[in-house]
A and B are shown apart, each in its own frame.
Chain A
């Protein structure tokens, strides 16, 4: 069997070219086979193509049925007709992508006129990446092709949710990632009945919890004052940076617990924890805190050591023989 790629490309070319002219349903068009050659008449038994991917039984496709030559007579006396398969992906090894692409195009043709909503208001969905999609269908889909396909997907997704038809929803499901990060909603931090808001922050391998209450600038970490807990003035400033940057240092008290890691990690974990607690009191401070660098967690950790190296990156000393 020939490699699937050239055949597939050729077929897709055909369907694309015809795509614009088709007015009738796809199946009707493709089942119109025109054939007279003897060589093909011998081999028109029912064939079944199993795909190269052994595990995918669902992908096995059936060839078109036997050609009824008598029925074809009515189309005239063409002596050298060429058989055209029912699916444009007939000759491709794995036709899933092509078929689904065609199905999407059909959906666009059918439902493309439904009202849409602006992209900014569309529900955020994590679509499968090219790598994910290739793994799912086991087909070496080209990046550009997949890009166009996802373009169609996004266009269909833009249809107003209340009017979105069932077939569209089903078709889009295949392109959604298994895990949708956008459905994860952070639990909002609330100010409890004692006026406390607890924020949790992490940095390197340190964790800090900070209870932020309205007050006059007193800060206690693990039962010690800021100066007792951090010897370096820089660390002290880091710890209260969220309050300092927003000018709230004299308006809140903080009672915090920090553990794990070193002093710098604990100080910067506290920055994040206090910032989160502060945002619970004053959500409007979020942009200011983001500008101050107190909102995003720094994901960097110690880089692992690798074999053949002295540390993560350091190579052993060069020795002359």
Chain B
């Protein structure tokens, strides 16, 4: 009975049974003595795999990966090249559409009340002169349009009117333009300068007050001054050259009234002011040339034209500068001769013989806080408005008497958002230039006017021009 069963054991089963295959695992320890492992010794491949796993993982200490070499080729920009690109001012764009029927700025245009709320384009000559005296700022959106044009707003008409008044009366207008961020304070100065250039005023512009006081340009004590004043020759050279280029026509017409023995070059009396300005060839004597030029412009009874003196970023010259004296004491900004000249004019210590204006604009983007200046300006504004005059904070001791003295007689022009009418004019200009691709109607104007914080022009530009959406 048992034979068939035992025989059956020897017979190979007809249907193979599914037995889980015994996999020869080679990950185990190599010292195993089992036969299977002895028959299949651990293969090289396995160890290689282990090695590759380990070699693939590296501890990374830094947060950022090093880039593979050879990723970026090409020359890195030279020193100063990046800044030049950043500060580049592009005044026209051939991709923008020319705006038909745009008036060109004339000498009387901005003084006329009728022209408030219109857009005018700057004539080519004025563009060049304004560019020389650095009236255009890299943050303004000139490069989006075919021709540099600007909105004549009610504040412009007001300012130009005051300038004309003072020129007619041979008086000096002392005015500070203040207002919120991006409201167009620098633009108002530019309009003043354009008006001055068109009316043959002598225009002197200090485009960035911080260049004078942040210890970024050379300085030296002026011998024979007490208390010591400091001249900034490099800056003076730049300034004289800018004044010379921008006011060439007027300076050629005027002649000198004094001899200037301190200058390296002999400038005889009755030579043109252009010759005097031309004598500033190198930085060493530049301050003296500028000083001589200023004296000539201040000469009484010589038929001098009105003068426009402008400065942007008033806060920077109303504080202690970053310069140090020989005794390593901080130098007050008003001890810098060029700044002193400006603040004296602002304080009304200089009477321009042909009248003129001293305009300063505060800055909100990059400016230190100057409590004295803020207080003085709010006091002047309150005086003009007939409101209650703010007083000193009795618990604050860092008020600066020199600052307050320099701002005793100024007028304050507050700039805020434009009206909807002006907003509409400027938006129609954008639409005609092809930058704003929308129908300019009441709804659109109000939308942008609201988004721009009640017509703050810079914010309106941000809200309508710098968006990629249609």
Contacts and interface: CB of A to CB of B under 8 A. Distances in A.
Contact of B462 (A219, A226, A233): A233
B447 A249 contact: yes
Nearest to A224: B453
Interface stretch (A76-84, A199-207, A236-244): A236-244
* Of listed B450, B454, B467, residue having the most chain A CB within 10 A: B450
Contact of B447 (A227, A244, A320): A244
B97 interface: no
Contacts of B450: 217-219, 226, 240, 249
Contacts of B463: 233, 236
Contact of A250 (B180, B443, B467): B443
Interface in B422-466: 442-443, 446-447, 449-454, 456, 459, 462-463, 466
A250 B442 contact: yes
A215 to B, nearest CB: 11
A138 B46 CA distance: 60
Interface residues of A, number: 17
Contacts of B462: 233
Contacts of B456: 225, 227
Contacts of B447: 217, 244, 249-250
A227 B446 contact: no
Interface string B197-241: 000000000000000000000000000000000000000000000
B446 A226 contact: no
A317 B417 CA distance: 53
Interface string A290-320: 0000000000000000000000000000001
B453 A228 contact: yes
A37 interface: no
Contacts of A236: 451, 463
Contacts of B459: 227
A249 B453 contact: no
A140 interface: no
Nearest to A244: B447
A252 to B, nearest CB: 10
A139 B452 CA distance: 64
A237 B467 CA distance: 12
Nearest to B450: A217
A226 B180 CA distance: 13
Contacts of A227: 451-454, 456, 459
Contacts of B57: 320
A9 B250 CA distance: 112
A227 B453 CA distance: 4
Contacts of B443: 247, 249-250
B465 to A, nearest CB: 11
B141 to A, nearest CB: 15
A216 interface: yes
A241 to B, nearest CB: 11
Contacts of B449: 217
Contacts of A217: 446-447, 449-450
A206 to B, nearest CB: 20
A247 B443 CA distance: 7
Contacts of B452: 227
B451 A216 contact: no
Contacts of A233: 451, 462-463, 466-467
B453 A240 contact: no
B446 A240 contact: no
A182 to B, nearest CB: 39
B449 to A, nearest CB: 7
Contacts of B453: 225-228
Given A225-B454, A227-B459, A233-B462, A249 B180 contact: no
Contacts of A244: 447
Interface in A69-121: none
Contacts of A228: 180, 453
A157 to B, nearest CB: 50
Contacts of B446: 216-217, 249-250
Contacts of A225: 417, 453-454, 456
Contacts of B442: 250
B451 A218 contact: no
A283 B454 CA distance: 28
Q: Chain A CB within 10 Å — which of B417, B454, B456 has the most?
A: B454
Nearest to A219: B450
A216 B462 CA distance: 22
Nearest to A251: B446
Contacts of A240: 450-451
Contacts of A216: 446
Contacts of B417: 225
Nearest to B454: A225
A320 to B, nearest CB: 8
Contacts of A249: 443, 446-447, 450
Contacts of B180: 228
Counting chain A CB atoms within 10 Å of each CB, which of B442, B453, B462, B466 scores highest?
Answer: B453
Nearest to A237: B451
A218 B57 CA distance: 60
A225 B458 CA distance: 14
A80 B459 CA distance: 99
27 contacts: A217-B446, A217-B450, A218-B454, A219-B450, A225-B417, A225-B454, A226-B450, A226-B451, A226-B453, A226-B454, A227-B452, A227-B454, A227-B459, A228-B453, A233-B462, A233-B463, A236-B451, A236-B463, A240-B450, A244-B447, A249-B446, A249-B447, A250-B442, A250-B443, A250-B446, A250-B447, A320-B57
Interface of B: 57, 180, 417, 442-443, 446-447, 449-454, 456, 459, 462-463, 466-467
Interface of A: 216-219, 225-228, 233, 236-237, 240, 244, 247, 249-250, 320
Q: Which 7 A-B pairs have the closest CB atoms?
A: A227-B453, A250-B446, A225-B453, A227-B459, A217-B446, A217-B450, A233-B463
